[in-house]
Chains A and B, each alone.
Chain A
Amino acid sequence: MKTFLVIVATLITLSFSSNALAKDYGKPLRLTEQTKISTILDNPDTFIGKRVQVSGMIIEVCATRGCWVYLSSDRPYEKIQIKVLDGEIVFPMSASGRQATVEGTVEQLAMSKEKVIEYKRHLAEEQGKSFDPSTVTGDEKIIRIHALGAVIEG
């Protein structure tokens, strides 16, 4: 019985510790070249549907489900949203301020003004923030990356 308990305890400890050390999320990164976020945002049509690897600082994390982060661009005052399917990757809140390399597919959300309001209200609710609909002035095209894998520096 003692041996059995030791085995169970070891398994549990291993499963905890392997995660504690893990900084890889989702699928392994396979691209060898990185694309600048500013390049993607300047020429979105060239990249939509293509797999890219980008890097930057995580400046915001979805507080509710960890299902998106904003990554800072290489150009000042610019950012891009990195989205994952719920549960596929869960970004921890502790990732805020960390450097990350993310690989995924560029996608575009073309939304009417009403949809943009709905979308931004949802994002604000997830963060426990208030949202002012008057900040949305019209239809918007949002460029984001559907992440497949990420590496976050410790």
Chain B
Amino acid sequence: MLEIKNLHACVEGREILRGVNLTINDGEVHVLMGPNGSGKSTLSNVLVGNPKYEVTEGSIIFNGKNLLELSPEDRSHEGIFMSFQAPIEIPGVSMTNFMRAAVNAKRKYYGEEPLGATEFLKLLREKRKVVGLDAHFMSRGVNEGFSGGERKRNEIFQMAVLEPTFSILDETDSGLDVDALRIVAEGFNRLRTPKTSAMVITHYQRMLDYLKPDFVHVLVNGQIVKEGDASLGYEIEERGFDWIKTEVENG
């Protein structure tokens, strides 16, 4: 599904990623861990095509396509979705209009007619159930006046509507209480299929408990320095990152 090779990327002239290699196959959930500033968010921003981030070397192939040549909107149509770390408020653009624009843009990309009003509302109603988002949120501005937990649920709701094949969860768990985390993680799990994959950035063991990832990667200083299965995640939760840094320094 996704093949990242020797990826180097800069933001504001500073090199953050220094040769990332990562392959994610269909149906796999990969967790990305690492100390603050190690490049986790940079990697997710590069994957969605944030224009602030510049790729200076390397390649990303997504389902056979050169991802770096695609606009952010086309990456979305191709099946990439990012649950943002801090989902932004867009006052004046209602959730309904926002989702309609997103759904119909994707349909247009695949040569399909826009969804009729009844079908569209039915789709929203169905998908809201995944994370238990009330109907009244749909007439509000995007994330306008949403609490932290509601914003994250809204991200998973949008994911449910857009049905991506590859999802990035960028610290979707941060700032959530136990119940909200469960709703978000269970919502995400409900959307998993043998054809969908995910890259999850997290600091928390609870998220590992829910997601049962296939692989854990540790990013330090813009490179993946250690890889393992879920048990590596639990080890980091217990011991922190310093022992890994020491391992790296000692070669």
A-B complex is real: no
